Structure 1
Amino acid sequence: MSGSAALANPKVIVLFFAGILFVALVLAKLKLVGVGIFLALVFGAVYLNLLFKNPVLGFYTAIGLNFVILGIGRYIKGLPLGFAVDGIMITTFLALIFSRFKERVDWSPANKTITTLAGIWLLYCIFQIVNPEARMIEPWIAGRGVGFYFFFFVILTFMLIDTNKKLDTFLYVWGVFSILATLKGFGQMVFGVDYAEKAWLDNGGAETHVLFGKLRVFSFFSDAGQFGGNQGYAGVVFLIYSMAKKGIPKIFFITVGLLGFYGMMISGTRGSIAVPFAGLMTFFVLRKNIKVLSAGVIFVALIFVFFKYTTIGNGNYQIRRMRGAFDPNNKSLQVRLDNQKILKAYLASRPFGGGIGHAGDKAQRFLPHAFLSNVATDSWYVMIWAELGVIGLTYHLFVLFFVLGTASYKVMFRIRDPITKIKMSALISGMAGIMLASYGNAILGGMPTALLFYASMAIMSTPETFEKERIETELSTT
């Protein structure tokens, strides 16, 4: 039936005007709130329509939302914003299934070793519900991302990011939000924090984010440590990735990389400097070129000497703060080592740990007087050790080094296409940087680093997919 014929149907006309009347009544009754609800419903309907036609939109949405959701939580209270990423992931899975409903979904792209490893990790995390040391289910729900996000986002990445164009789009989305994060951080440093950020500082954030009268910039992230580590991550990935680009895209990637390193510096997070150190050294090794490796080692050594053995730039707070990362007698480091000794004694008889969500400051809202709630974990690996035990930590490290090692081997000895080599090297180097930096701060599993890290793990595990697609594209155009 044509549109004009449908409008000639009395039932359609009645339903049309009834809908208009209903919307008008809602807007009149609820006023500004009604307008907001109406616009949200319209936007939601359009978004869902686009998502179910092209499920990769959900992947990009999760990446973007992953950046800002915790920052939004400082302004909007009382809403379960923490479940927003879960909702997007579930909806994306539904869109993936329904978009290929007639021919059934082919899950074979996700049938990879890393998926199996992530599945085992998920089962271990689910087992933590019955861990005899765990006292409540609420902390486990709050920490669910440790297992669920890794497993399900790896699958989504395998299923949806299967071409170089989609890979580049993933990086563009990441890059845009990374730029916004640095600009927001710059604004905090120059103009100060706004009312919501000040309220967050006044409610306890100032203890760790205002030191000697200086603000540790946190942008719209959970804390300065996550901001600094993630921006260092962007600096490594985007500067290396820019080598695979030309023209305006190259300028964009270089800009993101430089602003990323700038954001890392103004965060005042000393441990984040491990990201470029480990990341760049990894890249030099991946190049398999003695001259490049030698030049890279000299470059990194000069930076080390600058921070370790000189006082140049000490008038700048950010440089002075970063220099503290090279002091083995740093008081913060000594406190962390003391805490690890305490945990070692406590966990000696607890091989499965104390339960997901049960360790560190975050656990105090659930169990304020519990032992693990009052011992700072700081490091990502110490947190995994405290919550999932030596068994969980051992397996977690095995998975990380397995993915890093196999991906590096493929880039160095299997992949021949130079552009694919550069792209994969960027992701591998970023992963190495985050792995090292996560020894000092809980960066790896926090937002927004977690989803970026998990997606990168999946992508770098199958570099042949992107090499093959590039070769086929080049052959079809010749």
Structure 2
Amino acid sequence: MNKNILSTNNQHINPFEKISGSAALSNPKIILLFFVGVLFVGLVLAKLKMVGVGIFLALVVGTVYFNLLFKNPILGFYTAIGLNFIVLGLARYIKGLPLGFAIDGIMIITYLALIFSRFKERVDWSPANKTITILAGLWLLYCIIQIANPEARMIEPWIAGRGVGFYFFFFLILTFMLIDTNKKLDTFLYVWGVFSILATLKGFVQMVFGVDYAEKAWLDNGGAETHILFGKLRVFSFFSDAGQFGGNQGYAGVVFLIYSMAKKGLPKIFFITVGLLGLYGMMISGTRGSIAVPFAGFMTFFVLRKNIKIISMGFILVALIFVFFKYTTIANGNAQIRRMRTGFDPNNPSLMVRKANQAKLKVYLASRPFGGGIGHAGDKAQRFLPHAYLSNVATDSWYVMIWAELGIIGLVFHLAILFFTIGMASFKVMFRIRDPITKIKMSALISGMAGIMLASYGNAILGGMPTALLFYASMAIMSTPETFENEISEEIAISE
């Protein structure tokens, strides 16, 4: 019987949790390897000096990090979220490194850690066996088939645009596998919140003190065309552009202010702070389309509450904000408010240009139901195909980009997945979930998703960093609210 128990326990061994420390020093080979290692490090430091010190510290930190990661794979998930915020900004300072593949790398390593953490044991993938995962898998398959799109000219643009399919599918699964308790869900929000605060603070520094040398170089190399208007900087923080910064901070404003209703004490203060700073960051970005995020987000929340009084008050509040921007000139002295106000003008020249571009695409895509190929449309495609037709027609909107690259078939499929997810999650929150705390948490994520979906009509927010991974993770979490409600129910039952 004891042998059977030992055999069973061995099936759950994590090779990264073996006996270590003083017990290992009883082995003479370990002692010998230790001294050889010390001698090797000493020689490297003597030879390379400061560079050697940097390499040594990087190796030490890397070793500790990966050891922790393979013991706790969820660390990789949180790392991806953090890296997701800063990787494009880092590219302005660090040249020559393929930083665009950093997210791919951390995701691959996290999957390996997930497998190794269940060493000699089959990984139970059932938590990810959901309808939305199947839809994401079909979407990924459609994206892979796009390699054979007869309109596609090169493979390089497809590689650059791989996140449209790959990130959605693989990060969705990671979320299902790793975020399965309220504590982990809260930690996900805390990581998001910290980077959101840093983003707004960085944006504030840009607005008040100006840009640094790397950001100025980026502006001088073409960024100024869209980010310095009438002598005023459109704040972009450490994001790819002001549109992504504004949309993502509006996203944080909606999610964190609603989520704060499920918290007490210091956590509540933290969530309110993140939410308010998020909305402030949205305002200073000067991005007109980002205001759609709180409009749609908070209206969705009011509806999810199923309370006529709350819905009525919500509609009145949104109407007042709408009137403020469209029919008044109050605070027009503020450049950011003045620019956002132009988003309510149906005759705005920028809007007219967008409509003209969409009219061109409608004619071009009429005979191309599968689109022009992933990565082949808009300004980003010019570095691969500067003279191609789609490369010289601005897409602006996320949905227009999907339409141009994956065709009307891809656009319909993409929208179907989004509306299925938000519809299913909303139904569960409104009619299935009984726990009020879980209702608020899921409502926060659903409302944020609704805001990003609407704002992505005017800007390519949804698929950009850092919004994409936050959005995909939220889709996974909100589609299984019962997981978090059941945990609370079990804790109550145990306490009783």
Q: Tell whether the structures are fold-level matches, with TM greater than 0.5.
A: yes
Alignment partner of 1:83 is 2:83: no
1:349 aligned to which of 367, 371, 382:
367
Matched residue, 1:158: 176
User: 1:5–1:288: structure 2 CA closer, same or farther, 3 Å change rule?
Assistant: closer
Equivalent in 427, 436, 461 of residue 454 of structure 2: 436
> Does 1:107 pair with 2:107?
no
Distance 1:390 1:39 in 2: 51
Superposition pairs of residues 59-458 of structure 1, within 5 angstroms: 59-458=77-476
- Partner Cα distance (2:285, 2:20) in 1: 60
The residue that corresponds to 2:13 in the other structure is: none
Q: Does 1:27 align with 2:50?
A: no
Instruction: State the alpha-carbon separation in 1 of the partners of residues 440 and 347 from structure 2.
Output: 38
| Whole-Å separation in 2 of the counterparts to 1:466 and 1:2 | 36
Which amino acid is the alignment partner of residue 54 of structure 2? Answer: G
Q: Report Cα offsets for 1:95-140 as digits up to 9, x if no partner.
A: 1111012331110000000000000000000001010000000000
One-letter identity of the residue aligned with 1:420: T
Per-residue CA deviation, residues 330-387 of structure 1 (Å, 9 max, x unaligned), is 0100000000000000001111000000000000010111110000000000000000
* Superposition deviation, residue 17 in structure 1: 2.1
| C-alpha displacement of 1:16 | 2.2
Q: Which digits, 9 at most, give the CA deviation of each residue in 1:248-271, with x for residues without a partner? A: 000000000000000000000000
Are residue 45 (structure 1) and residue 63 (structure 2) matched?
Answer: yes
Once the two structures are superposed, the pairs formed by residues 11-26 of structure 1 within 5 Å of their partners are: 11-26=29-44
Residue type matched to 2:487 in 1? E
| Counterparts of 2:322 and 2:137, CA distance in 1 | 40
RMSD, aligned CA: 1.3
Aligned residue in 1 for 2:484:
466
C-alpha distance in structure 2 between counterparts of 1:462 and 1:117, whole Å: 15
Give the CA deviation at 1:94: 0.6
Partner Cα distance (1:224, 1:384) in 2: 21
CA distance in structure 2 between the aligned counterparts of 1:298 and 1:102, rounded to whole angstroms: 59
Distance 2:22 2:246 in 1: 59
Identity of aligned residues (%): 87
1:18 positional shift: 1.8
Deviation digits for residues 207-242 of structure 1, max 9, x if unmatched? Answer: 000000000000000000000000000000000000
Distance in 1, matches of 2:30 and 2:470, equals 47
Q: Cα distance 1:18–1:134, how it changes in 2: closer, same or farther (>3 A)?
A: same
Task: Measure, in 2, the Cα distance between the counterparts of 1:276 and 1:8.
Answer: 62
Q: CA deviation at 1:402?
A: 0.4
Gaps of 5+ in 1: none
Runs (5+) with no aligned partner, structure 2:
1-18
Higher mean displacement: 357-366 or 2-11: 2-11
AA matched with 1:349: S
Q: Distance in 1 between matches of 2:418 and 2:121?
A: 35
- 1:161-187 CA deviation, whole Å, 9 max, x = no partner? 000000000000000000000000000
Distance (Å, rounded) in 2 between the aligned partners of 1:25 and 1:5: 28
Q: C-alpha displacement at 1:13, in angstroms?
A: 4.0
Distance 2:283 2:129 in 1: 40
CA distance in 2, matches of 1:188, 1:234: 20
In structure 2, do the counterparts of structure 1 residues 112 and 194 end up closer, same or farther at CA, with 3 Å as the change threshold?
A: same
Q: SS at 1:352's partner residue?
A: coil
Provide the C-alpha distance between the structure 2 equivalents of 1:9 and 1:323, rounded to a whole number of angstroms: 72
Gap change, CA 1:68 and 1:5, over 3 Å in 2? closer
Change (3 A) 1:24 1:374: same
1:28-84: CA deviation from partner (whole Å, max 9, x where unpaired) = 222222111111111111111111111111100000000000001100000010111
- Structure 1 residue identity aligned to 2:448: G
Q: Distance in 2 between matches of 1:94 and 1:441?
A: 35
3-state secondary structure, aligned to 1:403: helix
Aligned counterparts of 1:394 and 1:8: Cα–Cα separation in 2: 65
The residue identity in structure 2 corresponding to 1:445 is G
Q: How many residues align?
A: 478
Alpha-carbon distance between aligned partners in 1 of 2:22 and 2:381, rounded to the nearest angstrom: 62
**Cα distance change of structure 1 residues 130 and 4 upon mapping to structure 2, 3 Å threshold:** closer
Distance 1:231 1:184 in 2: 12
TM-score, normalising length: structure 2: 0.95
